[in-house]
Structure 1
């Protein structure tokens, strides 16, 4: 059926601030939905409270409200804007919950607003745990034995009925918030109490344990004509008991038999039809020896939806928005191929691996145990021709200190960590295999399918060969096809990365690029994106146009969030306005920057020297922009400049602020000396590269002192230190975080006001965009402090001095700011 003509204006609700379990994926889906509706001539009213998003840009919607996501406030917006309809499932759990609240308040009926796409009844039947159970049983689908409870007394009764352990799942929550695994009665009561508080309807589902079963997800789409397709099936490497957002995931599923796949595919279509969901839907299964249970259905876009979109190239949020205004799958054109309809199911001729990014490098004392409640802040996605290649690229994409084969554990620790899942589990498996532990024993301890452990064993065995055999051209080609980066080969052979790279080039062993096109190359793709591998045929063709490569920020983590994706997307837009071909390299599947049509070419790759250079060698961009990808890309600036200078066959340069000037800002010693040279006042301080030097500086200044390493983001390893013992402890961590650069030690100014200044310089003029006054005193990181613009308590004299000092700081042509 054609688009509904009675729908002229649509309200979209965003997901609000980034929280655990609700990150950039909803900016991605919201932005895609906005563009999709505007393509059809529909006016869009958008409400969100997070300003660091693409979806809140003025040009993204016809009306943008940056307001608290509260049902009463949104009612006032509805009263003013009078939208014809609202789409519930675009803003994650927040949008879904508020839509349900507004419906219960009678707001939609009062103002004649239609709920488009998935109806409220479907939301209730999936989010209310008891209704969901009843609905599944009514269509003959199996769910774990369970009972919905509203009090601790009811929870106690369930123990007698179902025994222990038990899984607790609060209703109307995201990322497993408030839930968990109860192995004792005390844990059951504690988790239930927390879950009841978190649930919008004061309800938790307590269900029998399916711990150790395999977890499989199906991403499904349905339109009003009842046409259904399966977009993607994904298999968790971790078993049930670890939230899907916390588990490493591969797509397509690797260990399912065809019979199991067809069984779950049929069940998925049956479920989405029974629930009458219109648009995208995520269904999670527990699977064991041909038997399955339905764990959960999400009637909205989710982090898994974003992953499925990027894994397949199928724009789930875009299609969902069009279905919501009456269009059907056969009418919607696949925006990647520009020729096939959206009713064609995607096909994959590659393997993707997703690994979460946890904040435990920042919060070193936090509990690293993985459960049914999410703790990760983001994730990465890697693409390869084999699981081994995909896995190795995924580990390089994480941008963490630990890599495979680096960290060591003793045998008792290994067994404990294998049995109890933590953020280090995959690294522990690798080390256990190195020590000779059998695949069978690891599988029994972890409940991970032996297939995945055997793939890691192949990597371990290959590393042994690399250590002992001569790296001939034929052998080098083999290990590159498996996914080994040059840096790891250098470590294993005792050579430098440059030596490995030069040898590769001399032998003509170069990266080739393959397309992600939704159709496994069956149809020509108009807006494809790429991943690297080592095969004979390359599917990307370089143009003669002026082009610029932008380095993205990688996975979301504490201190490096959606704001850098915002910067990257705006940089692309600005360059395109000037007629410049833009390329992005990034590995975060949640973001707008990795949407298929944001840039002219997207490369889904690790943000490391080798993979960036592979893109540069293939595309020969005129320049590279590193200042939009946060600390990840800034850390690459100097090494990349040196490599480009070393490679005389390339004319690519780094644009914008020179990496040498970036180094002046990032290197604590150089920055300290620069401030002295410019006569800009700063706290009394010094810098140190060893524990003894740090103690001497601190004694000279006097405690407390503020200590900061170089080249870090979000205040990582930055602390106020009050005595010598504390300083000794600190130095061990700081040296590990930033071993090649000095640590700055300042006199800590107590009860001081902190001010942020944002400015830009074009080598001639300086524009100060904003002066921000922190509400908390100095000592609270600027990213954690509330602030106001313009300043409210600073005198004119202070503001004038701040402006003058800012102009001095960036007055030289390329001075960083």
Structure 2
């Protein structure tokens, strides 16, 4: 990484950071802080009392019982813990309160730095309908759909008639596949609208829905962004097309589908949108790529660090979490766009404690033995250890297995080797599923889309 600028006079180095998250991302943030010479305070629920993050942090404080609503989603408890322990900043990780504008605003009010964008930008881009409008203003292509949220099935039906079926109903306030329904038949729209709205209300506290054209056999492409408020960089793309029910299973960078010209176009569009909204921090612009037409469309923005950020780190050599912390300290970015180089190919498999043979049913329990793979080009981000008990209350992600290779073919070969070496005894994981995915000849050729896993790998089993 070329150093282009020293920290500004207004930069204030953090002495202590609180991590408002759990699992592998909490461990990842603790390690980044330690590299930067920053003390860490780890909050935890009763279920995570013996977690690796608690063991690694300089300090740890219990903030409530296992239920997320009473612990990791309790903004006031978390900020109170930050004030008691004299922290300079809070890192929210991903999920939980990471994209909660109210939490960011509370941090700002109490004089604690929120390691992320401002509450204003989180609110602006967190409303998916408003984010579409911002993209349109910035000249970024968007799929045909409603200009904002729709108030009723009747209004949704009018828009669907105009843009044509199938259509996608999406929660305006959320993501991760919740509050999302594909409607192929007009007769199903009323029921699907109600189901999507209720699910969105339960998941995000907001049942607002917007409508867009549903494109089939598309790729999910996302662009990693870093911005210090003045300079905006893109760090290339990630292809996240290997999904099940809108949940990502495997990610890779670069995408095997993009030409250099298309890569530049998507990157420039992402930078343009971030400049338009005044973005500052790490973030991700998510798009869909229509293979048939070769056109891409803005989908949404994630105003936080992504689960799959390691694949970008592997091909660029840039530590995204550390840069995120430096930006929050007031430091300018130390690189320019011309310094960003994509080298080789990286793949990430999300290892979940789930049984793919039983419709990916969660499999919490005690890990009798954990062995992480190693060797050239292998990275494991995990909070597992032998004897650890995976609690049933949270997301089932237990490890991110990431490999790098000089080519996509070498990366696939290394991933096969690493999956074969990895041992998680005592619970069922998705390792066998990932091996079957890598063995599929269509995946090997890079010929996948967002429905590929469900249509080819799961429908035939």
Q: Please give the TM-score of this superposition, normalised by the length of structure 1.
A: 0.41
SS at match of 1:146: coil
Is the CA contact 2:252–2:311 (under 8 Å) kept in the aligned structure 1? no
Partner of residue 386, structure 1: 407
* Deviation for aligned residue 1:172: 4.7
Q: CA deviation at 1:128?
A: 1.1
* 1:115-514 matched pairs, under 5 angstroms: 115=114, 117-147=116-146, 148-149=149-150, 158-173=159-174, 175-184=176-185, 185=188, 186-224=191-229, 226-236=230-240, 238=242, 243=246, 245-246=248-249, 248-288=250-290, 289-330=293-334, 345-357=339-351, 361=355, 364-365=358-359, 378-399=399-420, 426=437, 429-430=440-441
Give the drift of 1:377: 6.1
SS at the partner of 1:133? helix
1:674-685 matched pairs, under 5 angstroms: none
Q: 1:197 to 1:5 in 2, by over 3 A?
A: same
- Structure 1 distance, partners of 2:85, 2:52, is 22
Instruction: Summarize the Cα distance change of 1:177–1:212 in structure 2 as closer, same or farther, 3 Å threshold.
Output: same
2:62 corresponds in structure 1 to 66
CA distance in 2, matches of 1:4, 1:294: 35
Inter-CA distance 329–188: structure 2 relative to 1 (3 Å threshold) = same
Q: Secondary structure at the match of 1:64?
A: strand
State the partner residue of 1:665: none
Alignment of 1:47-66 (within 5 A): 47-49=43-45, 50-51=48-49, 53-57=51-55, 60-61=57-58, 63-66=59-62
The whole-number CA distance in structure 2 between the counterparts of 1:304 and 1:446 is: 16
- Does structure 1 retain, via aligned residues, the 8 Å contact 2:177–2:246? yes
8 Å contact from structure 1 (residues 170, 178) kept in 2? yes
Check 1:319–1:285 CA distance in 2 against 1; reply closer, same or farther (3 A cut): same
SS of the counterpart of 1:207?
A: strand
Give distance in 2, aligned partners of 1:202 and 1:290: 33
Q: Which runs of 5+ in 1 are unaligned?
A: 19-23, 331-340, 369-373, 402-421, 434-438, 454-817
Q: CA RMSD in A?
A: 4.1
Secondary structure in structure 2 of the residue aligned to 1:176:
coil
Contact 2:17 2:40 in 1 (8 A): yes
Q: Distance in 2 between matches of 1:274 and 1:387?
A: 35
CA distance in 2, matches of 1:113, 1:445: 42
Q: Is the 8 A contact 2:30 2:40 kept in 1?
A: no
Higher relative contact order (CA 8 A, sep 6+): 2
From 8, 12, 17, the equivalent of 2:18 is 12
Unaligned 5+ residue runs, structure 2? 1-6, 64-70, 363-394, 423-432, 457-461
Query: Displacement of 1:223 after TM fit?
Result: 1.4
Deviation per residue, 1:449-470 (Å, 9 max, x gap)? xxxx9xxxxxxxxxxxxxxxxx
CA distance in 2, matches of 1:174, 1:315: 25
* Structure 1: distance between partners of 2:16 and 2:173: 24
Q: Using the alignment, how far apart are the partners of 1:431 and 1:113 within structure 2?
A: 49
Separation (CA, whole Å) in 1 of partners of 2:160 and 2:418: 43
Q: How far apart are residue 444 of structure 1 and its match? A: 10
Length-normalised TM-score, structure 2: 0.69
How does 1:731-742 map onto structure 2 within 5 Å? none
Q: Tell me if the contact between 1:118 and 1:276 (Cα under 8 Å) persists in the aligned partners.
A: no
Post-superposition offset of 1:425 = 7.5
* Aligned-partner Cα distance in 1 for 2:201–2:400: 29
Q: Label 1:119 to 1:305 Cα distance change in 2 as closer, same or farther (>3 A).
A: same
1:83-124 superposed Cα distances (whole Å, 9 cap, x missing partner): 55545xx421213245x23356x5643x34454551111111
Cα distance in 2 for partners of 1:306, 1:52 equals 26
Q: After superposition, what is the alpha-carbon deviation per residue over 1:149-198, rounded to whole angstroms, capped at 9, x for unaligned? A: 46666655654454432334334545333434343424444333212321
| C-alpha deviation, 1:386, in angstroms | 3.1
* Cα 1:66–1:172 shift into 2, 3 Å: farther
SS of the aligned residue for 1:397 comes to: helix
The separation in 2 between residues aligned to 1:37 and 1:228, in whole angstroms, is 23
Q: State the SS of the aligned residue for 2:97.
A: helix
Equivalent-residue separation in structure 1 for 2:233 and 2:116 (angstroms) = 16
Contact 1:212–1:447 (Cα < 8 Å) also in 2: yes
SS of the counterpart of 2:300? Answer: strand
Counterparts of 1:85 and 1:444 in 2: how far apart (Å)? 41
Q: Is the 8 A contact 1:282 1:305 kept in 2?
A: no
Give 1:428 shift.
Answer: 8.1
Distance verdict in 2 for CA 1:378–1:177, change over 3 Å: farther
User: What is the aligned residue count?
Assistant: 387
Q: Work out the CA distance in 2 between the residues paired with 1:271 and 1:314.
A: 22
State the 1:131 CA deviation: 1.8
Distance 1:7 1:352 in 2: 32
Once the two structures are superposed, residues 24-44 of structure 1 have per-residue CA deviations (whole angstroms, 9 ceiling, x without a partner) of 2x22442144325535xxx65
Q: 1:2 to 1:156 in 2, by over 3 A?
A: same
Distance 1:425 1:362 in 2: 11
Query: Matches of 1:443 and 1:251 in 2, distance apart?
Result: 15
Q: Check whether the contact 2:32–2:322 (CA below 8 A) recurs between aligned residues.
A: yes
Contact 2:150–2:211 (CA under 8 A) maintained in structure 1: yes
Residue 121 of structure 2 contacts residue 279 of structure 2 at CA under 8 Å; is this kept in 1?
Answer: yes
Q: Deviations over 1:768-800 (max 9, x none)?
A: xxxxxxxxxxxxxxxxxxxxxxxxxxxxxxxxx
